[in-house]
Structure 1
Amino acid sequence: MEEIGELHLVMFPWLAFGHMIPYLDLSKLLAQKGHKISFVSTPRNIDRLPNLSSLIQFVKLPLPHVDNLPDNAECTIDLPIDQVKYLKIAFDGLEEALVKFLQDSSPDWVIHDFAPYWLAPTASKLNISTAHFSAFAPPALGFLGPIQELKGVDMVRTKPEDCTVKPKWVTFESSVAFRLYEILQVFDHTMVEVDDNVSDIFRTGVVLENVDLVIVRGCSDFEPEWLKLFEELYKKPVIPVGQLSPSTFDSDDGNSAKDDAWKESKDWLDRQTRGSVVFVGFGSEVKLTQDQLSAIALGIELSGLPFFFVLKTRRGETDDEGIELPKGFQEQTKDRGVVFTSWAPQLKILSHDSVGGYFFHSGWGSVVEAVQFEKPLILLTFVADQGLNARVLEETKMGYSIPRNEVDGSFTSDAWQVYRDKIKEIKDIFCDSAKQDFYLDNLLQHLQAHKRNN
């Protein structure tokens, strides 16, 4: 393979941990291959990222003040979902500081997320190449459609019901589409402009139109038809970079509170029978409603299984609508379960032999982590691309979705069913280190060959 000279790559993710973490994972892998990486975000977000690498330069850009955005809110997890629109306005205000950094540092590439729709044209004027790295799984990105559809030109999807069927540009067999209750939860936050705030879907369309390259978190062995579709939709190179499965546990950097939390967790897990525990957790972005939490708690109680439940009771410091477990739940289940309402070491819990299944939201980062440790998947979707991910997992027999009302998404306690054999098969695709290295080298070859300042 042709030798690749050192590249300077600027990474600029959206202000959500489901985006920042895959950007950080990719940054580490590229830095380990000898390239200079500048990871750009806001101060509080960088300080909260796990397992920071000394090989990476972390660039802190202060988030501009915006009316109605609470103090210290720098990430989606800091806010109720209806306030995230103010975070997007503040994010757009980073443009001047970021451009100043690019002028001073003259990188070869800026690899950025869907949100900075203003970035690629400016970078081009500075003779800097741009790439969009999508944190979404390829089927979720492909479902969104061609650039004209994303930008609202000749749209074929104008109402939520239009998103519940396979789109016309997907010409191969696929069940990937939203359930009505799934798209109703996100339609107004992602598909349409709200209060003069540029929609997520429009941002994505402009980004895909203007970048030089598209990088996707995926692999040709698992989703070849979707990767081929991207080339047709975007009319530019699309490079898969593998699943970025974690190879080591996050370091807690001497954080005694986190160390104590893991010791307590491990002591309890060590006492459980192998493969008996259901790990229940719905990620940093999801806050359950009180009715949803009550139904989940009842299902856990009726299952009779040991469980480890990581529960988010509030979303950000300004969220004054807390939720609570049903009265008596913890007393009734204290001999067979643990409930964590603070930080918990997810990767370490998933790796433990006593964990026999993962009941979660189907976020793709968590999918990859669970597959690495061959944990069967039980799915309960809530926001963003989770519904589309669930269709992929159902279609490939990797996961089982809890039955729900198709219109309002309500659910009751139901059977705890899991798929095991398929997870072991898929692990060989998701977690093969040689294949991951191949994808990285292929990306680097392309970045070297097609940078603007060759």
Structure 2
Amino acid sequence: MIIAQENISGVSDIFRVASTLKGCDVIAPRSCLELEADYINLLKEMHGKPVVPVGLLPPSVEDYGDSGSDSDCSWQVISSWLDKQSKRSVVYIAFGSESTQSREELSEVALGLELSGLPFFWALKNPELPEGFEDRTNGRGLVWRNWAPQLRILSHESVGGFLTHSGWSSVIEALQFGLPLIILPFFVDQGLIARDLADRRVGIEVPRDEEDGSFTRDSVTESLRLVVVEEGGRAYREKAKEMSTLFGDRSLHEQYVDKFAEHLTSNCNIKK
């Protein structure tokens, strides 16, 4: 797993975060005390600065109602496909816009999906999939190579699990709807988030080889089926549903935003 990937600026994200933490006056994580009180208090001790969480900031589906736009037309096609699937049966797959996967990694994910026998919707820009994969899964799965309205998809009643890189925004979007997670991290903070989510039992991390970090189609298949359909994964589904109460509580998280604004007003010197 890459932990210091450089971006277009040539500076790693780890360096940027460390520099920002050193130079800032207050740390404002996208979190809340109800979820991570111990970690938030640890941040205060480590950096000797105020830590004021801003809440989880769960987005609202209603905010994405772009009627008449290209995105709305795409949603009509997507929702028509989702409407034909059984309730809580579809695996939604998306690995974010920044993480990249090798051809081998994409191949193992694809073949794992195929072996699982589960219906799936895969938001994927990279066209390099195993030869014949889309033909063999035609009717059961859909590979979508345009922009996908992720929040709308996650909120659809046919979606029963989310295969994700564990980007924090994506995790929040999924858990506010009580969706269990199949987690496949690739770089930076994703591995830490994945382990924390696994410890909370809202999903499982796809097993990797401890030596080279690789994973297999069989491990993808087993993880998908366990979390989405098998009796042995019921605890993950129930825990994810339970967590939706916290992750989807907009009133609670709006209070955190208000408290953060109060802190800025009371404690920060704003130059005019």
- When normalised by structure 1's length, the TM-score is 0.54
The unaligned stretches of length 5 or more in structure 2 are: 228-235
Query: What RMSD in Å do the two structures reach over aligned CA positions?
Result: 2.1
> For 1:435, what is the secondary structure of its paired residue?
helix
Instruction: Please say if residues 279 and 359 of structure 1, whose CA atoms lie closer than 8 Å, have aligned partners that are also in contact.
Output: yes
Number of the residue aligned with 1:279: 92
More off after superposition, 348-357 vs 200-209: 200-209
Spell out the pairing of 1:37-436 with structure 2 (5 A cutoff): 182=1, 185-187=2-4, 189=6, 199-251=12-64, 253=66, 256-313=69-126, 323-413=127-217, 414=219, 415=222, 416=224, 417-418=226-227, 419-436=236-253
- 4+ runs deviating over 6 angstroms: none
Query: Which structure's residues are more often helix, by fraction?
Result: 2
Q: Name which structure has the greater RCO, CA cutoff 8 Å, separation 6+.
A: 2
1:249, CA displacement in angstroms? 4.0
Alpha-carbon distance between aligned partners in 2 of 1:188 and 1:258, rounded to the nearest angstrom: 31
> For 1:206, what is the secondary structure of its paired residue?
helix
Instruction: Please say if residues 287 and 312 of structure 1, whose CA atoms lie closer than 8 Å, have aligned partners that are also in contact.
Output: no
1:437, CA displacement in angstroms? 2.3
**% of aligned pairs identical?**
46
| Structure having the higher Rg | 1
1:222, CA displacement in angstroms? 1.0
Alpha-carbon distance between aligned partners in 1 of 2:249 and 2:68, rounded to the nearest angstrom: 31
Identify if the C-alpha distance between structure 1 residues 212 and 266 changes in structure 2 by more than 3 Å, giving closer, same or farther: same
Alpha-carbon distance between aligned partners in 1 of 2:178 and 2:257, rounded to the nearest angstrom: 24
Instruction: Please say if residues 286 and 312 of structure 1, whose CA atoms lie closer than 8 Å, have aligned partners that are also in contact.
Output: no
Is 1:438 the counterpart of 2:271? The answer is no
One-letter amino acid of the counterpart of residue 180, structure 2: P
> For 2:204, what is the secondary structure of its paired residue?
strand
Would you say how many aligned residue pairs link Structure 1 and Structure 2? Answer: 258
One-letter amino acid of the counterpart of residue 223, structure 1: E
Q: Write the deviation string for residues 153-183 of structure 1: whole angstroms up to 9, x where unpaired.
A: xxxxxxxxxxxxxxxxxxxxxxxxxxxxx2x
Alpha-carbon distance between aligned partners in 2 of 1:434 and 1:243, rounded to the nearest angstrom: 11
> For 1:239, what is the secondary structure of its paired residue?
coil
Alpha-carbon distance between aligned partners in 1 of 2:96 and 2:30, rounded to the nearest angstrom: 19
Alpha-carbon distance between aligned partners in 1 of 2:97 and 2:185, rounded to the nearest angstrom: 13
Q: Write the deviation string for residues 34-53 of structure 1: whole angstroms up to 9, x where unpaired.
A: xxxxxxxxxxxxxxxxxxxx
The unaligned stretches of length 5 or more in structure 1 are: 1-181, 314-322
Alpha-carbon distance between aligned partners in 1 of 2:190 and 2:15, rounded to the nearest angstrom: 20
One-letter amino acid of the counterpart of residue 242, structure 2: E
